[in-house]
Homo-oligomer: A and B are copies of this chain.
Amino acid sequence: MSIDLDALYRDLHQHPELSFQETRTAGIAAGHLRDLGLEVEDSVGITGVVGILRNGDGPVVWARADMDALPVEELTGLPYASTATGIDPDGNTVPIMHACGHDMHVTAMIGAVERLVAEQSAWSGTLVVLIQPAEEYGAGAKAMLDAGLLNRLPKPDVVLGQHVTPLPAGVIGVRPGPQMAAADGITVTLHGRGGHGSRPHTTIDPVVMAAATVMRLQTIASRELDPREVGVVTVGSIHAGTKSNIIPADATLALSLRYPDDAARAQIIAAVERVVRAEAAASGAEREPEFRTEHTLPPTINDAEATARVTAALERALGEGTVIDPGMFTGSEDVSWFARDAGVPLVFWFWGGVDPEVFAQAKAAGTLSSSIPTNHSAYFAPVMHPTIEVGVTAMATAVREFLD
């Protein structure tokens, strides 16, 4: 009797968990992998799960799915929408939602493993399944590797991963070379001097310092980066103060930086630090701002040869014209660490989750970017079908490309 992937997906979607807190999700995934006969180890890198299917001689494929959700309040209105809350690292109670589709990743991976087990006689080699935590922190892959994966597991010949995205359901997007940007997450703390809201002249206002900093940071993308290259400086959060009539002492900014390569990283980080320090100086800050790098994600670069093999295999499996070059994405991933640390090729592809008709209408209306919710939106909601089936087929097909 086969696994009910629809029920699995709805269940995961209704029970999203924050990064490194995915114990329920991990438990469910581990349970299915065990049921399917894999050797399973859990709590790898805090909450990660590793499943190994040894099927005779042959190459080793590491297939990775990430499983964490986001502190976003779901607004999809779906019958299986999340109403979950959790405690974020600052101790605040926050709503949680699978706003990046990792529930779909886990579902498709379980379905793919089920199929690969069923087809076991047709291929040989070793499949290592990685159910990874905390991709959203950019920390989960490193956490699993830090748990000694490369020493303990069969060394991979290739690393595979996939991500659901606002392409039409049925379509695969993949390209050789740069597929996703590199990224840093940086927290900046600005120090002013607090006081009464009616006496600004006795204070150093960190709200104004922060606002001026945000405006000046815009000029890095608009003036300092080569317009022909991908470069993004996003201030994803800004927090200061408690009441209207108290000028607080500090402000914090959380920055997300995207860039194509290491040279651009050096340039963009130097620019951020220069701007932040200068704006603190403009305010007459008595204490230097503080910078903390929360995570660094390498560029996601697909191996040319391995990608060509996967592309061809997926075209055969899903139909001609279903595999497109989606261009480079400005988003980032930590899946690369598995391949980089092992020194082996990576293939990472996107698969569509948007009703093809809805997609076609939005394209015709020129509203693709405004009407189709993107990953991390409170309205992000892949259609279940054929998204689940395509995700299963894509992952199983890609694995078999290397193990047949």
Bound together, the chains give a CA A329 to CA B274 distance in angstroms of 28
Residues in chain B near residue A390, CB distance under 8 A: none
How far does the Cβ of A134 sit from chain B's closest Cβ, in whole Å? 12
Q: A199 contacts which of B197, B241, B246, B330 (Cβ < 8 Å)?
A: B330
Segment 178-234 of A: residues with Cβ below 8 Å from B: 181, 183, 185-187, 193-203, 205, 207-208, 210-216, 218-228, 230-234
- A232 and B281 in contact, given A183-B245, A221-B222 (Cβ under 8 angstroms): no
Residues in chain B near residue A81, CB distance under 8 A: none
- The answer to whether A201 and B223 touch across the interface, beta carbons within 8 angstroms, is yes
How far does the Cβ of A24 sit from chain B's closest Cβ, in whole Å? 21
Q: A208 contacts which of B198, B218, B281 (Cβ < 8 Å)?
A: B218
Q: A211 contacts which of B220, B221, B238, B376 (Cβ < 8 Å)?
A: B238
Interface of A is mostly: mixed
- The answer to whether B236 and A331 touch across the interface, beta carbons within 8 angstroms, is no
Bound together, the chains give a CA A331 to CA B225 distance in angstroms of 15
Bound together, the chains give a CA A211 to CA B88 distance in angstroms of 25
Residues in chain B near residue A308, CB distance under 8 A: none
Range of interface residues on A (Cβ < 8 Å): 35 or more
- The answer to whether A258 and B227 touch across the interface, beta carbons within 8 angstroms, is yes
Q: With CB as the reference atom, state the residue of chain B lying closest to A276.
A: B282
- A233 and B222 in contact, given A202-B369, A331-B196 (Cβ under 8 angstroms): yes
Extra A-B contacts (17), CB below 8 Å, given A70-B246, A198-B331, A208-B214? A91-B93, A92-B92, A183-B198, A186-B244, A195-B375, A196-B331, A198-B256, A199-B227, A200-B222, A202-B369, A207-B235, A208-B222, A236-B245, A241-B254, A246-B376, A271-B284, A278-B281
A-B contact pairs, 27 of them (CB 8 A): A71-B243, A185-B243, A195-B374, A195-B375, A197-B256, A199-B227, A199-B331, A200-B234, A201-B227, A202-B374, A205-B223, A207-B235, A210-B238, A215-B215, A216-B282, A221-B222, A221-B227, A227-B231, A235-B241, A237-B240, A237-B241, A237-B246, A238-B239, A244-B294, A245-B256, A271-B284, A278-B281
